[in-house]
A and B are shown apart, each in its own frame.
Chain A
Amino acid sequence: MCDTCGCNVTPGNEHLVAAGGHLAHTSSGSESVEVLKGLLAANDHQAAHNREHFDQHKTMAVNLMSSPGAGKTSLLEATIEALGTDLTIAVIEGDLETENDANRIREKGVAAVQISTGSACHLDAHMVHGALHDLDLDGIDVVFIENVGNLVCPASFDLGQHYNVALLSTPEGHDKPAKYPVMFRAADLVLVSKCDLLEVLGDFDPDTAEAYLRQIANPAPLYKVSAKSGAGMASWLDWIRSEVAARK
């Protein structure tokens, strides 16, 4: 949906458009100007530019989102270990402070650029664009963008990724998709992480998590994975391999 031609007029807001007319002058001499532009148009424009940059290099970009501590960095470490010889991977790390996560990734022998957001609770397309200046995409098959741990704000900002992958760790509870519908509606793939804890916890039902995901009309696949034990990682790794292959 673009922000210029009026196709963003929906059945929910068309009455406002019809009532106003294109440019209405009021009797007081002030002027009413119809704009009809998405508030995040500048971000979306930059995101489209980022996506073009990824496409030119046939690089798949994945935006990883979850609450803090759901295991994004551990998942990436295990993913790099499993795919490192087949695929060339790079990582953009978003955190409020520290280079700790980028250093963990670099120890695996993979290029990592750290974005320190300061107090910002999410990455936006401009931050990712800045990070891309420090990352040569030649020969890179997949870039993982590890977003700031947060189930709210990152969902509103397109970064130029091809896919959103949301992690839902088992200790968080299976009703997270119902509690954070905006985030989980945006997910193209949901990973139930730390699934090695399912037995210990006893009260996380993956089928219920999937039912909540369908209730927000999201057809995304849901895989159970454990970066620690390796259980279920094959589905996730196969997904990456087939999506990367599809872009070549």
Chain B
Amino acid sequence: MHELSVCQALISQVAQVARDRHATAVTDIYVDVGPLSGVEPPLLRNAFPIAAAGTVANNATLHLQTMPIRVRCEECGAESEVATNRLTCQSCGDWRTDLISGDELLLQRVVLEDCKAGAEAYV
């Protein structure tokens, strides 16, 4: 159950964005999770209110998008969508593939409230 650690790291990043833009509250947090990141979306969702309590993200809604697992075959070049424990090429069957999507653990976007005009842009 390392999802709480992950959630605390998420809140720390979100709080930094809010601070940089002088926002008083965060309303929405968008995160991409790939099944091969090792993080379970339902557990992340459960850990979120605990990690967010008392922070600028206290009332924020966490939006999790589960990403598909996609591989590219090193032999035939085909791209396929695959299952977590079978990353083989769906076209020629070779096991030598490169992961092109599915291990994401990415803070995509946050929505902030009451930003002060003229605040420094966060990039």
Binding site for B on A (CB under 8 A): 8, 10-13, 16, 20, 23, 26, 29-43, 120-122, 124, 152-153, 155-157, 177-179, 181-183, 185, 212, 214-217, 219
B5 proximal to A (CB < 8 A): yes
B1-21: CB near A (< 8 Å → 1, else 0) gives 110011001101100010001
Known: A13-B106, A33-B122, A182-B38. A215 touches B95 (CB 8 A): yes
Cβ distance B8 to chain A, nearest Cβ, rounded Å: 10
Query: Could you give 29 example pairs across A and B, Cβ below 8 Å?
Result: A11-B100, A12-B104, A13-B32, A13-B67, A13-B101, A16-B65, A16-B109, A29-B113, A34-B109, A35-B13, A35-B110, A36-B106, A36-B108, A37-B106, A38-B107, A39-B9, A39-B105, A39-B106, A39-B107, A40-B6, A41-B13, A121-B1, A155-B38, A156-B6, A182-B37, A214-B95, A215-B86, A215-B95, A219-B96
For B39, what are the chain A residues with a Cβ–Cβ distance below 8 Å?
156
For A157, what are the chain B residues with a Cβ–Cβ distance below 8 Å?
2
Known: A39-B10, A41-B13. A156 touches B87 (CB 8 A): no
How many A-B pairs have beta carbons closer than 8 Å: the answer is 145
For B70, what are the chain A residues with a Cβ–Cβ distance below 8 Å?
11-12
Cβ distance B86 to chain A, nearest Cβ, rounded Å: 5
For A212, what are the chain B residues with a Cβ–Cβ distance below 8 Å?
85
For B96, what are the chain A residues with a Cβ–Cβ distance below 8 Å?
217, 219
B-side binding surface: helix, strand, loop or mixed?
Answer: mixed
For B108, what are the chain A residues with a Cβ–Cβ distance below 8 Å?
13, 16, 34-36
A-side binding surface: helix, strand, loop or mixed?
Answer: mixed
Bound complex: CA A155 to CA B88 (Å): 21
* A12 and B102 contacting across the interface, CB-CB below 8 Å: yes
Cβ distance A73 to chain B, nearest Cβ, rounded Å: 22
Ranked nearest first, the 7 interchain pairs of A and B with the lowest CB-CB distance are A12-B101, A153-B2, A156-B38, A217-B87, A182-B38, A214-B95, A181-B85
* B104 and A182 contacting across the interface, CB-CB below 8 Å: no
From A121, A179, A183, A215, B2 is in contact (CB under 8 Å) with A121
* B105 and A31 contacting across the interface, CB-CB below 8 Å: no
Closest to B31 in A: A39
For A219, what are the chain B residues with a Cβ–Cβ distance below 8 Å?
96
Cβ distance B99 to chain A, nearest Cβ, rounded Å: 7
From A40, A177, A179, A181, B9 is in contact (CB under 8 Å) with A40
For B104, what are the chain A residues with a Cβ–Cβ distance below 8 Å?
8, 10, 12-13
